[in-house]
Chains A and B, each alone.
Chain A
C-alpha cells in the first residue's frame, strides 16, 4: 500500500513540474499587470519553487508523516483545511449515492436473474445499460430543469451540514445522489444479475429445492448470500471512485466538494493542491480496496489472507 502511494506521489509530483509555465506566471497573467523578473523570482522563492526538485519532493513527502500536506499555492491556506471543509460533503454524497445504488441494484438484479429472458429481464437490462450510457451530469441538468420548469423550485445552493439541519442537507444532496446513484446502480445491477444467474445453476441450489425449501429461502439464504461477494467488491470500488471522482456532477449542482476543488486546482496550476488531492484519492481507493478484501474474507470463510 505505501509503495503504491509513494509511486503515485512521485509520478504526479514530477509530471506536474515537467510542464512549462507555473502558478506564479499564471497569477500575474491573470492580474493583467506587468511583472518584473525579480518579483516573479521573489514569489517563487516564497512558494519554495526555487529549490531543487528533489528537495521540494522530500519536504512534501516528509510532511505526509505528520499529516501536513503543506499550503495551497493559490489561496495560501493549509491544504488539510481546504480539503477538510469539503470532505464532509463529498463523503456524504458518496455514501448516499452508494446507498441508492444498493437499493436499486440488488433487488433489480436478482429479479432479472430469476426471471431470465422474460420481459422483466429485458426491462432491467435496458434500464441498467441506459444507466451506464446517460452521463450523470446531464441527468443532473435534466433533474434541475424539471424542478425549475414544473415546480418553480431549486434545490438549496448553499451546503448545510447534516448535523445542523438534516432536512435542508438532504433536500440539497438527494438529487445529485440520485443522478450519480442511478449510474452506479447500473454496474452493480448487471453484476448482481450475472452472479445470481451463475449461482442458481449450482448443485446446492438444486439440493435446497429438492429438500423442499421455500423458494424465497433458497433465493435469499442460499443464492443471494453466495452471489453478493463480487457485488460487494464492485460497490466498494465504485464508492472509492465517488469520493474524489464526482468532478463533473459537483460542477452541475454547484457543490463545493473535492471534485470541484480538484478542477479549480488544475486550472490554477496549484501544484501542491493537485498532488495532495491525487494522493488522497488514490489513498481512499487503495484503502477501500483493502477494506473490501477484509469484508470478503469475513463473509466467505474460503478466503483467507496471510
Chain B
C-alpha cells in the first residue's frame, strides 16, 4: 500500500476491495463479451458448489417408472434411460467438468511456465534438451497424447487430469519461454544475479511474476480446452466412469441409442459443454486483448 504514496496522499484511502471493484467495472465496460463469459462462469461455479441445494433430484437415483420422460415441469430437461433427471446430472456434471478443467489447466500452465522460464533462464544445453523434449510432445495431436496417457494409466478422475495436463505443458512452455527470453536480458534480472541470488530465487521471485500476463492468458485458454478434452475422453469411455455425472459421459451409449426417442438426452449435455467452453473462451479472449494484444493463440 505504501508504495503508491503519492496516490494515497491525494486520494481518499482506497481499500483493496474498492480497487478490485473498480478494475472489474472497467473490464466490464470495455469488454462486455468478456464480462458475459465471466458471468456464465460465475453461475457455473455457483451451481457446481451448491449442486446439493440447487439440483432438484438425486443425481444417482434410478427410477424405472420415469424412464426416458420428455422435458416437463417435473423434469425440465427430461430423464435418461435409468430414469435419472437430466438437469440434475448436468448440474452435478459441472462439478466434474470444472474440477478437471481447473486442475489440469492450472497444472498444465504452471508446469509449462516453470519449464519455459527455467529453459529460458539457463539457455545453452539445458534449454536445448528441454526444448527437444517439448518438441517431441508437441508432435502428437492433443487428443492422441491424452489417449496414450489414459491408456497407460487407466481411466478415472486423477488419471484424466494428468492425461489432459501432459499435452498442455509443452504448449505453455513454448509461449512462456519466448516471453522469458527477453526478460533474461533485463537489468533487474542482471541486478539480482549481481547480488548473488541463486537461479531458483531469480526464476521464482524475479522472472515468474513478470510472465504473469501470458501465464494467465494460457491458463484461461487451457480451461476451455481441458473441459472439451475431458468431455471427449469421457465420451469415448476412457474418461470419468459411470455412475459419476459428467457431460461427455451423458452423451455416450444410451443417449445415442435412444437419440430418436429421447433427443433431450443428447442435446442438453452438449449444450452445457458448448456454453461453458464458450464462456471460458470469451473471457480468455478479452483477457488476452486486455493484457497482451500481440499474443496470438
Contacts and interface: CB of A to CB of B under 8 A. Distances in A.
Interface of A: 4, 7-8, 11-12, 15-16, 18-19, 125-126, 129-130, 132-135, 137-138, 141-142, 144-145, 148-149, 191, 194, 230, 240-241, 244-245, 247-248, 251-252, 262-263, 266-267, 269, 274, 278, 281-282, 285-286
Contacts of B232: 135, 137, 247-248
B152 A129 contact: no
A304 B84 CA distance: 62
Given A11-B136, A245-B143, A144 B151 contact: no
Interface of B: 33, 132, 135-136, 139-144, 147-148, 150-153, 224, 228, 231-232, 235-236, 238, 251, 255-256, 259-260, 263, 266-267, 270, 273-278, 281-282, 285, 296
A269 B277 CA distance: 32
A266 B147 contact: yes
A191 B282 CA distance: 16
11 contacts: A8-B136, A133-B228, A135-B270, A137-B251, A141-B255, A145-B263, A148-B260, A247-B144, A247-B232, A278-B140, A282-B139
Given A245-B144, A263-B147, A16 B152 contact: yes
A145 B251 contact: no
B266 A132 contact: no
Instruction: In the A-B complex, list the 8 residue pairs whose CB atoms are closest, starting with the nearest.
Output: A138-B270, A245-B141, A133-B278, A133-B277, A266-B151, A282-B139, A241-B141, A134-B274
B153 to A, nearest CB: 8
Nearest to B136: A7
The B interface is mostly helix, strand or loop, or mixed, namely helix
A18 B151 CA distance: 12
Contact of A129 (B132, B140, B151, B278): B278
Nearest to A15: B152
Nearest to B149: A15
B136 A138 contact: no
A148 B260 CA distance: 7
B251 A251 contact: no
Contacts of A126: 33
A250 B268 CA distance: 21
A261 to B, nearest CB: 12
B148 A4 contact: no
Given A135-B232, A248-B143, A248-B236, A141 B259 contact: yes
Contacts of B132: 4, 7
Nearest to A234: B296
A15 B140 CA distance: 15
Contacts of A269: 151
Nearest to B278: A133
Contacts of A240: 141
Given A134-B274, A135-B274, A274-B148, A263 B140 contact: no
A129 B282 contact: yes
Contacts of B274: 130, 133-135, 138
B270 A141 contact: yes
A230 B296 CA distance: 11
Given A8-B140, A137-B251, A194-B296, A132 B147 contact: no
B164 to A, nearest CB: 14
Given A16-B152, A138-B274, 5 more contacts: A130-B278, A138-B270, A141-B255, A145-B263, A245-B144
Contact of B281 (A132, A149, A230, A252): A132
A241 to B, nearest CB: 4
B148 A12 contact: yes
Nearest to B141: A245
B242 to A, nearest CB: 16
A244 B270 CA distance: 23
A8 B139 contact: yes
B183 to A, nearest CB: 25
Nearest to A18: B152
Nearest to B147: A266
A129 B285 contact: yes
A269 B132 CA distance: 28
B135 A4 contact: yes
A86 B230 CA distance: 26
B31 to A, nearest CB: 12
A267 B140 CA distance: 19
